[in-house]
Structure 1
C-alpha cells in the first residue's frame, strides 16, 4: 500500500520588515522601552527562523539520551500552537562520504556535493557558492532589512561564503550565549546594534561529534549520550529565550534541527547506514504533527527555512521543503494488518487469526523453555529451519509496506552470514526478495538486504549485538520512504539505522519465506540462534509501536498487547491514596536481564533474605501506603511499607552496616521498616529508599549472580538501582 500522507497549508509570504537603516542608527545605549519598540516593529513580519546543526548526532541519539527539550519540539508541546514533524530515519547526502565538510555545505546551501563541488573537509573553501548560495545569503538578497546571524564552532565553516549580518566562530557554549543574547536583545557589535531582533539564526554545535570521536558514536556509550543531553539543555536555553521575548505571542518561529553524519566506533565517513542515518526535525505553527513522509535529508534544512521566511526556493536546490507532509498515524490496534504471529509456545502455530502457520523445513528445530516470554524456538545451526511457504499475504510486490519482528538471542558469533527470516536466494544480494540477516561482517551484526534486481539492491547495516541476552529486532519497510532497522539491546538501548528504498521494485519472490534459512532452504550457512515472539505485518510499524513492544528492553508479549492485557506501572502520574493497600510486583533491569524482588525460601530466626530472581520471576507484594506527597518538581514520594504476600514477612534493612551496605530482608515479626517510593515521570526509573539515622539507603541488586539470583541490599552511600513497580489487579 502506498504511504498515506496528510498536508498542511504552506507558509505565506513575509510581511515588510523594519529597515536596516533603522537598525544602523539605533543607540548602543538602548533602553528597555526602545528595545520593546524595535522588537515590536520587527515582529510585524512574524516569521523567524532558527536552524541548528548538531555535528555527529546519529538518528538514534535522541532516542537514547535524555532530551526533554527536543522531545517537546517533536511532540508539539513546547509552546501553544506549535507542532513538530520529525524523522529519526533522515539521511545525509550519499554522493560524498558522510563527513562534515560536504554535509555542512549541503545543510546551508540545499545542494549535494555534485553541485557544490565540496567532497571533503579540505575543499570547503572552493565550493561553488556563487551558483549555489548559502540560504542566509538568499534571505539577505530577498530582504536586506532582515537580521541574520551565522554562529559556528568549526573554523572551516567560515570558508563558506555567506552574507549574514553577523558571522561568529566560537565554541558551543559561547555561541549558545551569543544566540540567547541576540534573542533577548542584549547582544551588540558593529553590525548588530543593541536591541536588534534576530530574524534568521544559523547555529552549529560541535561537542556531540567530539564525544563520538573520543569513544563511540553509539547509543551504548554513556559519554556520547550524556553530551546529547548537554546539548539538549543548551537548546532548552534557546527555547526559553524565544518564549520570553516580549513579542513572542505575535511571532511565528520555525526551528529546524538536523545533523551532518552519524558514525561507527570512534569515526565516520563510511558509506553505510549507521553513518548516513541522522535526525531531521522541523517545529512551527504550520507543520503537520507526526513523522515526516518520504526520505528526509539534512540538505532539506535550507529550502525549509527559505520557505518559512517567504523566500522563493531556487530550482537548483536539491532539498525539499519539509513539514507539511507526514505519515498517517499508526492504527489504534497493533494487530491491524498482522498476517502471522508465532509465539512458539509449544508449537509453530500462527496466533494472529490468519492461519499462516510455520512448519519444519529442515532438521529438528526445538521449542524450549527459557524464552523471552515462556517458550522459544531454538535453532542449533545443523540445517534446522522453519518455513512459512509462499502465501499471498507475504507478497509485498512494488508498493506494500511491511514489518518483520522477532526477539533474538545467541551465545556467540554466527558462522558465515545466515538468514533470520527471508525469501530470496542469498547466493547473491541482487536476487529478488528480502532478508533480515544475523551477520553483516563481524559475526555479531544484524542488517537488511532487499532487491528486485541488481540495479536497486539495498543493504542497510550494520548494528552490533551482544551475546546471551534477548534483543528485539524489527525491520520496518515504508516503500515510499525508508527501510528502518531497530535493534533493542537487553540494556534498554534502541539502536536505529535506515536507508531509502523508494526506488526498489517488485519484491515478490518465487521462493518460500523461511526462518533460519534463505528462500532456497539450502544456503551454505544456517542460523544458530534462539527466536521468540516473531510477527509480520502488512504495514510499516512506527517508532511508537516499536517502543511499546520493546518496553525499554523488558519487552511486551504481542498477545498481551493484542488482548489489551498491559501492565500498569507506578509513576508520578499514578493516583495512590493514603491508608490503602496495593498489590505490586517489583522488578529491576540488572545488566540487561529482568530480575524480580523475591523472598528466600529459607527462614532463619523469623527472617528471610531478600533477593532478585533473574529468571524474570517476582513474588507479589502488598504495598501499604501511609502518605503521599506531591513534590514541586512534579515527582511524587510515597511513604509506605512493603509486605510479602502469604505471611512471608515485611521488607526491612539489616542493622549491620558492612562496606556502606545493609542486607535487605523480610521479617515475619514486624510490620516492616518505613520506605519511601520515589516516583517520577518515567515508570522505569522509580527508586525505593529508607531513612536511617541522618542518612538514606537505596534498594539495589548485588553485582554477583549466583544460581540465577542476586542478593538484595540497601546501599547507604547512598546509591540505588532504578526499579519498576507493577500495579496488579
Structure 2
C-alpha cells in the first residue's frame, strides 16, 4: 500500500530522476482464445503490439485446460501439482505456499501500486485475494476496459492485471474455432478494447519516462464448445511480451521428419502425415450413413508418438460421445490406450481397452459393428475386446468421413494414417487377421462389400484416392506426404508456457526470484536489464535491510551470506555508481555517499549466484 514515505520518495524522484524509465507491467488476460483463431482474426491492436514483442503462437498450457488452474498458472508461476487447483471451485488450493506474483511484488515492496480488474470474478476472489491495492469485478469486458482506461489516466499503478471473458463465452456458445464467425467477432471486439487500454496508457503524462512491459495471454483454447482435455487445440495458447526495449522475435515449434528403423509390413514408399491442423475429408454419400441396422467394418493403419483426445478416423462431432456416429480415438484424456466409440444422440458405447499404440510403430486398427450384437475391436489382427451395441439406434450424420480430425475439424490427430478401409458388412476375425498386413486385392473374401479403400500412399498433394472403384476420393486439407520410413516430430521445448508470464513480470520489475519459491516458469526477457547483464543466474538467499536505507548503511543477512563476493550499485539508467568486494561473512555496505534516489543493488557470489534488488535512499 502506498504510504506517506512512499509518496515523499516518489516526489523526490520526480525532481532528481525525471528522464529515467520507471518499470511497470500490464498483463492482459483474454479467456479462451485459440491461437489459430487469433491469427485468423483481424486484430490490428494486438498485431501492433506483436511488432515490438517476443511472441509465441505455439505456447502451451500442457497442464489442465480449465480456467481455474489456467489463471492460477498465469498468476502464480506454478502448475496444478503445486497450486493444487484442478477446477473452477478452487477447493484445496495452496496459494499460501504459491501466491500470485502480485502478492510476491507487494511482499518485496509494499509501495508498489497494484491493480486487478476482472470480468470473471473468481480470479480476484480466489487468486488475487487481498494482495492487490485495488481490485474490482465487472459484468462485461467493456466495463473492464473503461475502468482500466480511467484508472490509468488519473492514477500511477505499477502493476495492472486485466481479465476479459467474452471470447470464452462465444466459444462455449457456438464453438471454439477459427471457422466460427461469432468466435472471431468476439476476438476482434476484445482487440478494440485492448487498443482502448493501450491508448490510455500511452496518453499518460509520464509515459515517455515509463518502461511498460505488456504481457498478453490466454488460459486455454478449445474444442467444439468446450475445453478441459489434452488435444492440441485445447492446450495451444499464445504469449506476447511487448515493450520498448524488447527485441522482436517469433518463437514457433520445431517440426521435422525423422528417419527411424520401423517395421512396416506393407513396405509403402510414402504415407500421409497429419499435424495439429490437418485432415482428409471424404464427401457425404448415402452409402456412408449406416442408419440403425446396417452392419459395417472400419480398418486403418496408424503410426504416432502422441496419445491424446483426438479423432483418428470417424464420421462424428467428437465434442460428445453421445453424438451420432463412430470414432477411433484414445481413452480420455490422453490414453495411452486407443479406443472406439459409437453413439446415436442419446446412447453411447465405448471400448477403452485398446493397446498402447503411440510408440512410433505402425499398427492396424480394426473394428466390426454388428448392429444387433457386438462391436469387436482388433489390433494388428488380434482380437482385443467386444461390447454390446444393440441399444444404439440411428448413427447417421450426413457428414461423410474424415481422417485426422472430427467433422468440425477439431480434435486433431498428430501422426500418420494409411490403408483406411470401409465395408458395409462384418469382416470376421480370421479375415481381419489374415489381411491386417496386406494391401487389399480382389481376392479378399469381402471385396465386393468394400465401400471405400484409401491406401494413402500416392504422394499427390490435394487428392486422396479411393481405389475401391467407388471413386469416393478425399480432399487433403494440409496433411503431408512423406517417405514411409520417417515420422513427423513436433518439438515445443523452446516455446513458452503459461507459468512463464508472472516470472517475466517479476523479472521486468527487477524483483529477485528466490530459489525457495520453487517456480515452474522462466523469464522471457533477459536478466533485469538495468545492469546490462544478460546471463542466467541462481538467486542468492539474502535479505537486505533496512529499505528504505537509514543511516547510510545496508545490512545483509541470510543463509547464503558466506557465498557473497562482490556488489555493484546502479542508478535507474544502468550507470554503475559504486562497487566493492565483500569478504566472507561481511554483512554491511556503506551507501552514505549516494544521493537520495532509487537504485538497483546487485550481489554476486560463488557458483554463479546473484541477487538483484531495488533500494531507496530517502
TM-score category of the 2 structures, normalised to the smaller one: 0.3 to 0.5
Q: TM-score, normalised by structure 2?
A: 0.48
Q: TM-score, normalised by structure 1?
A: 0.41
Structure possessing the higher relative contact order (Cα contacts under 8 Å, 6 or more residues apart): 2
